[in-house]
Structure 1
Amino acid sequence: MHKKVEKVYEIGINKVNEDDFILDQNNNIYAVIDGATGLGGLSGKLASSTIKEGLLDDQNQGTLLEKAEFANKLLGERTIELTNIAALSHLPKEQRSSCGIAAVKINMDQNKLEYIHAGDCMLFIQYTDGSVRSLTKDHISPLDSIAITEFERLLKTNLSDLSDVSIEQAKEILDRERTGILDLLRENRAKLNTLGGYGILDGSEDATQFIEYGIISLNRVHQILLLSDGLQIPSASWEETAGFAFDNGLEPLSKKINDLEMNDLLCLNYPRLKIADDKTGILLTF
């Protein structure tokens, strides 16, 4: 069994932490879940907390994939109930509560690691020889980069004379400027659970077609790393981020990111859509 479990769970710039996590050492299930609030719609906390609840439901037995499908169905039912609609398809995609996830189930008896993935949460393995393997791909990043590029252009055009601002002032400014890219954000949300877009858990039947799933051997596995996208080092690749976490741990990773964010409140040096995202990570060491 793993010798050490590290966890980071920190709220970002908003009032509610829309991330969630699972540390179920009895059943050896671990997950990071990144909720996304609908544009003018439901809170991302609905999705992240419901998916967590569904995965941990004692009546929800089976493979990790089957557990995820059960949890996703539960999210659909909750969404319909809360919005009083006849079917989830009646609620536009951009208004739905949704979430990304990276989750693992460890079977030491069979020496296997079962995993599921959706969205921009990431899962990495480090082997005893130091090599790192990514089991997931961030399909949201290419779409986000389009919106971030346009947001950066707006900020540099409109904020060239600003320098010293407080966190509250910066948040107000960014919220105002973000209205200039709402159409881009809506276009991106419209691509969820579509070919050429990205997979995400939103309670729809389409979501189950985009959940990535696999089983690998635990042979020579030294560490397992699960991260929400808030723990990606600004302007660094996922691979660089994972390498830093494996070498230094989750707390130093979080501190590094927080320092960069707090010294760039207007998101000009490290282009991004908000000052600080929620941050969730789990690091298992064998």
Structure 2
Amino acid sequence: MANYNIEVRCQAGSNTKPNEDGYVIIQHERFVLSVTIDGVSGAGGLSGRFATDNLKRGIHTVMETYIAELDTDPTLPIDLKTILIYACNYHAEMTLQETGKRPDEMEPFERAGACLAATLVDFRYQEVQFVCLGDTLPYYMDKEGKIHFPFRDTVEKHDRKSIKLRTKALHKLLEERELTLDDIRNDEEQIAEINKLVRADKKVRQAVPNMRYRANKRFHFYTVLDGTKDSMRSIQKNYCKVSLDNVQSIGGSSDGLLYMLQNTRDNARAWRMTAKIAFRDGIDSLFQVIENLENYDPIGAVLPRMKRRDDKVIVLIRDITL
């Protein structure tokens, strides 16, 4: 019988908008499944919450079948790719019901989708399966305390272009108004106005739709689960497994918990900081660190990013023993 501890926390970045992040945790004597999900809104009116909820329902539905079959045949292999492809198909069907069109019939920027980090720990076959799409990353700590990332952040280089446009528009606005970060750090009214004006910049507004056109394309390596056939192929490409023998703890978190650095090119270091704090100090400490950084720079002047605060989700499976 395996032993482990699970920690989870999910929190909205805004008090006025729905939390588009979510998670699934399914525990069974044979396995534990963990999926952290970061919903991505479409410009056609479909929210990231729509995609997150569909994927959660799809995963729960297919796992009910798996569990029923395991009760009959405990040796049955469990395939994480199959689980997620089913959930992706479920999202495609719900999109058709909602809009009258399948995701493949929609423009890329119209589709609702999600980035996700999925982990299946199979105790019978002593392996850990991973799938990673976008900028929600899985990671694990081995028994010597070293942290490993099976995948890299595929959104980061595209995000960096959008952030560069936003930062340029922001500094131009601050210069025109002769303001510094220290002038407005504690002025909520000015912070809100500055962030609103920067979002309204024409190039900034167009940056995200332009980025969505690159989703799941062969030469862009930007993956998002949006119900298209391309996104289902991305599941196959972004899959791996490792032996459970040397795995002590496993994590998965959305980019809302990515440690903020002045140099946005140092994405790998930022993710390592996130995982290190989570494993060493726990998820509440990680949330506090990120919130302190958000409050220090509420407009993204020295810690560049697209949003003042993002939705956040993390799941940790800690101290696994067999």
**TM-score scaled to structure 2, two decimals?**
0.84
Q: Is residue 213 of structure 2 the alignment partner of residue 190 of structure 1?
A: yes
Partner Cα separation in structure 1 for residue 44 and residue 195 of structure 2 = 17
Q: Which letter maps to 1:77?
A: E
Provide the residue aligned with 1:95 in structure 2: 110
* Deviations, residues 36-87 of structure 1 (Å, cap 9, x unaligned): 11135310001111111111114554511001001101111111211123x4
In 2 relative to 1, CA 46–167 (structure 1 residues): closer, same or farther, beyond 3 Å?
A: farther
| Equivalences for residues 1-286 of structure 1 within 5 A | 1-13=2-14, 14-26=16-28, 27-57=31-61, 58=63, 61=66, 62-85=78-101, 87-160=102-175, 161-162=178-179, 163-164=183-184, 166-167=187-188, 169-180=190-201, 181-197=204-220, 198-211=222-235, 212-235=238-261, 237-286=270-319
Paired AA for residue 260 in structure 1: L
1:264 aligned partner, one-letter code: D
Distance 2:80 2:122 in 1: 11
User: Secondary structure in 2 aligned to 1:257?
Assistant: helix
- Backbone CA RMSD of aligned residues: 1.7
1:94 Cα deviation after fit? 0.5
- Flag the structure with higher helix content: 2
What amino acid does structure 2 have at the position aligned with 1:69?
Answer: I
Query: What residue ranges of structure 1 are gaps of 5+ in the alignment?
Result: none
Query: Contact between 2:251 and 2:317, CA under 8 Å: does it hold in 1?
Result: yes
Name the % identity: 27
Conserved? CA contact 1:2–1:285, under 8 Å: no
Q: How many residues align?
A: 285
Cα gap change, 1:16/1:136 in structure 2, threshold over 3 Å: closer, same or farther?
Answer: same
Query: Structure 1 pair 6/59, CA: closer, same or farther in 2 (3 Å)?
Result: closer
Aligned-partner residue type, residue 194 of structure 2: I
- 2:303 and 2:3 map into 1 onto residues whose CA distance is 36
Amino acid at match of 2:211: N
- Poorly superposed stretches of 4+, deviation over 3 Å: 58-62, 165-169
Question: CA 1:36 to 1:191, structure 2 compared with 1: closer, same or farther past 3 Å?
Answer: same
Once residues 6 and 64 of structure 2 are traced to their aligned partners in structure 1, the CA distance between those partners, rounded to angstroms, is 27
